[in-house]
Amino acid sequence: MTTKILVTGVAGFIGSHIAAALLARGDRVLGVDNLSPYYSPALKHARLARLAAHRGFAFEEVDVTDEALVEAVPASWRDVERVVHAAAQPGVRHSLAHPVGTARVNLLGQVVIEEAIHRHLPKVRGLVYASTSSVYGRDTASPFSPHAPALRPVSAYAASKRGAELMAESYTGLYGLPHLGLRFFTVYGRWGRPDMAYFIFTHRILGGQPIKLFGGEATRRDFTHVDDIVAGVLSGIDRVDRLPDRHTILNLGNNRPERVIDLIRAIEGASGREAAIEVTDLPPGDVPATAADITPTTELLGFRPTTRLADGIADFVAWFREADAGRFLPA
């Protein structure tokens, strides 16, 4: 028996991969997105074109911050049984220049979706929403535990996503709908976001242009391939209403922090080009290292990431060349 699942942010990097995996296993997906020009709309349309090839997919251009959704939702939403809220305004550095817009999408968007479900979608049995490792800030002990208080975010983006988690907590307490918040750690892979370092590095290395290494060789990230992220999300979708707590927050990370310089070396190896590296200080809002404690995620969701950084980057570089993905970067 198929399940109808609403996926917000379906034209985004992770949202489109989640939708593709749900369709591949036979679920019906109603995808919504506002096609924000934050980065290339052409890339978003290309992702949607891949999804449109599936009979079980339907798309609606919807902005999750549209307060009209609180009063009424489209008729097509009314038989939805699960919701995956992946729509967001990403970008730590973007949030420093655009804090109001970031807060509007990430906080108001959470409230609107919560209210739309509460008022109009009685068949929904669980909400899975995307959060971020950025909520841990600089003071959380490594590896970052999902039980850590996460009280000192260091960017507007991080604060807005932590606020969305607290909003989810309040709605769980008020109305009892099971919630699962998943904190993603530095996701990479095919059809990725052009504002991410691995995307920019690949473009510049292939073009013989220098790249900037923020924080030097000590900077580490828990790079996590999108296929592993999606496996965790799908497990969460299936189990959200059977978890011990009504509101659960878990990490989805690779559980193996690696130096950013090793990411660069992987791109060099996959591309056959040598990088010209300029070392510079970490910008405001960035943290020197991220590391995910996934022990609770493994226990509750059976989550076990398997993709090695070198393999995942080799696959990404191959896609980048095949898709001529440099065209998705700003001129």
Could you give the CA distance from residue 199 to residue 46 in angstroms, rounded to a whole number? 17
Q: What is the mean pLDDT of residues 144-159?
A: 95
Given the residues 129, 157, 188, 198, the one annotated as active site: 157
Q: Tell me what pLDDT residue 331 has.
A: 77
Q: Tell me what pLDDT residue 322 has.
A: 97
Does the annotation mark 175 as catalytic? no
pLDDT digits (tens, 9 = 90+) for 230-265: 999 999 999 999 999 999 999 999 988 999 999 999
Could you give the CA distance from residue 191 to residue 267 in angstroms, rounded to a whole number? 16
Find the DSSP H helices in the chain.
13-24, 41-52, 68-71, 92-97, 99-103, 109-120, 156-175, 197-206, 226-239, 260-271, 295-301, 309-323
Instruction: Work out the number of other CB atoms within 10 angstroms of the CB of residue 312.
Output: 24
pLDDT digits (tens, 9 = 90+) for 21-54: 999 999 999 999 999 999 999 999 999 999 999 9
Q: How confident is the model at residue 2 (pLDDT cuts 50, 70, 90)?
A: confident
Q: Tell me what pLDDT residue 285 has.
A: 87
Q: How confident is the model at residue 184 (pLDDT cuts 50, 70, 90)?
A: very high
Q: What is the mean pLDDT of residues 68-86?
A: 97
Contacts of 109 (CB under 8 A, 6+ apart): 8, 64, 65, 85, 87, 88, 164
